[in-house]
A and B are shown apart, each in its own frame.
Chain A
Amino acid sequence: MSEPQVSNAGARTTDGTMRGPWHGLRAAVAALSSLRKFEPPAPRSVKGFFTDTTLCIGCKACEVACKEWNQLPSEPPRWTGTSYDNTGALSATTWRHVLFVEQIPESRQTPRWLLMSDVCKHCANAPCQEVCPTGAIIRTEFDSVYVQDDVCNGCGYCVVACPFGVIDRSPFDGGAHKCTLCYDRLKVGDEPACARVCPTRSIQFGDLAELRARAEQRIAELHARGETSAYLYGADERVLEGGLHAFFLLVDRPDVYNLPAHPRRPVRNARRGYLMTAFTAAVLMVIGMLGFARR
C-alpha cells in the first residue's frame, strides 16, 4: 500500500529508549498520525478468476507459483493415503489447492478423475470482511477481498465466518491469511501468479463480466459436445446474494468438490438474533421487576 511511512527516526536512541519529553511528544504525534484516514484508490474494473475444472490436469503449478510469488512456507510432503492430493486443503500458507477426485466404480470400469484448483472465492458479499472487527479485511479497487496484514490482530472471527473454509489463522505469525488475488501484481498491471503459470488455461483471470460471458460460452460448447453435466458454480448472483468473483466450472455435484451447494451469509442471522435477544431481555426484566417489587 502506498501509505507514507511515518518516520520516527531520532525519537529513539540506539538502544531503543525514548529521549526526553520532546521526543516522547514527537513519538505520540507519529503514533496518532498513523490513525489518519487516507483516501482509498479509485475503483477499477472488477477482477476475478474463472477456474474451468475440465481443463485442469493436476500439475499443481498454480500451488507452486502461488507459494513462490507470495513467499509462503512449504509444508513437508505427506501422503493422505486416499489420492494424489498431498495438500489436503487451503490454509493460511496454501492459497491454491488442487483437488484430486478419483471416481472409481466397484466394477473398475470407466473410472473418472476430476481435478480442480481451489482458491478464495472473493465473494461479492464476503462473510470474512463483514464480520472483521478491526477493518483489516477490505475490498480493494479491483473489488477483491484483501487482508491488511499490518492491521489484523488475529481474533479468528473470519475463520468461522467463511462458508468455504478458506481463510485461516497462521500458527507462525498469529494473523489471518488467504489469497490476495495477487494484489501487488495487479497494482502494476500483471495477472496473478497462478493464472500466469497455468499451462492449460484452466485458471483464467480477467474482468469479471468478460469471464462470466466466456464461461457461459464454454458451458454451451461443452453441452453441445455431450458433456451435459457441466455447470457454473458461483457465477450466479444469487450465491451469497451477489455471486463469487472466483467461480468454477464443475461437472459433478458441488459436494464432490467439497463445496457447499447453497452457502449462507452469516450476517443474515444478526438481526433475528438481536431481536430474539431483546425479546428475552424484556421477559427477564419483567421477572426481575416483579420479583423485587413483591412485598
Chain B
Amino acid sequence: METRGSAVNGPERGYYGLPVLKPPVWRWEIWSYFFLGGLSAGTFLVASLARLFGDEDDRRASQVGYLLSFAAILPCPLLLIKDLGRPSRFLNMLRIVKPSSPMSMGIWGLIAFSVCSVLSAWRALGTVIGHPLPLSRALPERLLALVGSAAALFIGGYTGVLLSVTSVPLWSRSVLLGPTFLAAAFSSGLAALGLALALCRGVPNRTLAKLRPMEVAALAVEGAMLAGFARQSDRAVRPVVSSDEHGRGFLLGAVGVGIILPLLAHLVGPHHRRSAALSSVCALVGGVLLRRVLIEGGRASAEDPQVTFWHTDRPPEKSQW
C-alpha cells in the first residue's frame, strides 16, 4: 500500500497522536477492591487449609483467618457500588448470569464467597469469645471451608481475567494476570495471617513457623507469574516499567517491596516475630501497589496509540483454545 509522508502527522503512525482506545474509567475504588477482595479470598484459603489439614494450633489460627477474611470483604460491595456511574442501579448486575462476562461471573462468585466468609466468621467468633453464638454450632464447618475455598480461588483470580478480557494492551496482551492476582491474593492472605499471629502474643509460634515456607513458595509463584506476564506483554508492559509515574510503583513497590524484600526476610532474615511482622507488612503494601500500578497503568496503555497499533499489527494466532 502506498504511504505518503505527512508534515503534520510526523513519522509516527496514527491520527495526530490521538488515542485509538478510550481510557478506563476505573480508579481507586477498583484497585482497592482488587486488593481487599484478594486479601479476603487469600485469608479464607489459608484459614480453610489450616482447618482442614493443620493440627490443633493451626485450627486456632484459622479462626483468626476467618475473622480477617470477613473484615476485608466488608468494604468490597461498597467500593464496587461507588465505582458505578449510576450507583443506585447496582442491583441490575443481578438481572442475568452471563458466562462471557467475567464481571457478571465475578458478582455471582462474590455473593457465594461473601456468604461463606460471613458464616465462617460467625462460627469463628463464637469459638474466639469462648461461648457459641446462636446457630454457630450448627454451621457445617468443613463444608463451608470446602465450598468457600472454591469460591475464594475464583475471587482471587477472576479480577485478573476480567482485565485480560479487554482491549487495553497492558491488560490483554498476556493471559497471566489471573494467575498473578491469585498468587498475590494467596501471598497477602498468608502475610495478613502471619502479621496477626505475630502481633497476638498468646498464639504459639508453631503455626507462624509453618506459614514461613508457604509464604516463600507463594511469593515465588507470584514472582514467576509476574515475570511471565511482563515477558508476554513485551512492549505493552512499558508504561508500568519505564515511565516515571508508574515505573517506581511497579519495580520498586510491587516487585521490590512486595516480593523481593519479604522473600529475603524469610530466607536470610532472623526468625523472630518482629521480622515476620515486618515482611508481612511489606508483602501487603506490595499487594496494594501491584493492583494500583496495573489499573493506573491501563490508562497510560490505552492512551498510547503506538502500542495499540503494535498490539493489533497481526491477526491473533489461530491456536486459541
> Taking beta carbons and an 8 Å cutoff, which residues of A are in contact with B?
35, 80, 82-83, 85, 88-89, 99, 101-106, 108, 112, 127, 130-136, 151-157, 159-170, 173-176, 229, 238, 252-253, 255-274, 276-281, 283-285, 287-289, 291-295
Contact = CB atoms under 8 A, between A and B. Distances in A.
A89 B308 CA distance: 16
Nearest to B303: A165
A267 B314 CA distance: 18
Given A135-B95, A255-B309, A263-B312, A291 B214 contact: yes
Contact of A154 (B84, B98, B177): B84
Interface string B176-190: 111100110010000
Given A264-B167, A272-B321, A292-B58, A283 B9 contact: no
Contact of A133 (B18, B107, B316): B107
Contact of A101 (B15, B165, B312): B15
Contacts of A164: 20-21
Given A153-B90, A288-B45, A168 B22 contact: yes
A83 B16 contact: yes
A157 B103 contact: yes
Contact of B177 (A273, A279, A287): A273
A160 B175 contact: no
11 contacts: A105-B6, A131-B102, A151-B89, A151-B92, A153-B92, A253-B1, A273-B161, A273-B177, A277-B153, A281-B182, A285-B49
B213 interface: yes
A292 B210 contact: yes
B141 to A, nearest CB: 16
Nearest to B55: A295
B50 interface: yes
A268 B316 contact: yes
Given A266-B167, A280-B225, A289-B49, 7 more contacts: A88-B18, A153-B84, A163-B21, A164-B21, A252-B2, A256-B15, A276-B179
B313 interface: yes
B25 to A, nearest CB: 4
A253 B15 CA distance: 11
Contacts of B158: 277
B86 interface: yes
A35 B89 CA distance: 14
Chain A residues touching B, majority SS: loop
B24 A276 contact: no
A161 B24 CA distance: 9
A84 to B, nearest CB: 11
B5 A255 contact: no
Contacts of A277: 153, 157-158, 160-161, 178-179, 182
Given A82-B8, A270-B164, A288-B49, A264 B1 contact: no
Interface string B251-290: 0000000000000000000000000000000000000000
A131 B100 CA distance: 6
Contacts of A293: 53-54
B157 A280 contact: yes
Contacts of B315: 238, 262
Contact of B100 (A80, A175, A257, A270): A270
Contacts of B58: 292
B93 interface: yes
A157 B101 contact: yes
A75 to B, nearest CB: 15
A72 to B, nearest CB: 17
A291 B54 CA distance: 9
A136 B162 CA distance: 18
Nearest to B62: A292
A39 B86 CA distance: 27
A224 to B, nearest CB: 17
A2 B105 CA distance: 30
A175 B86 contact: yes
Given A175-B86, A258-B18, A287 B309 contact: no
Task: Give the 7 A-B CB pairs with smallest separation, nearest first.
Answer: A154-B85, A174-B85, A260-B312, A277-B178, A277-B157, A153-B89, A291-B214
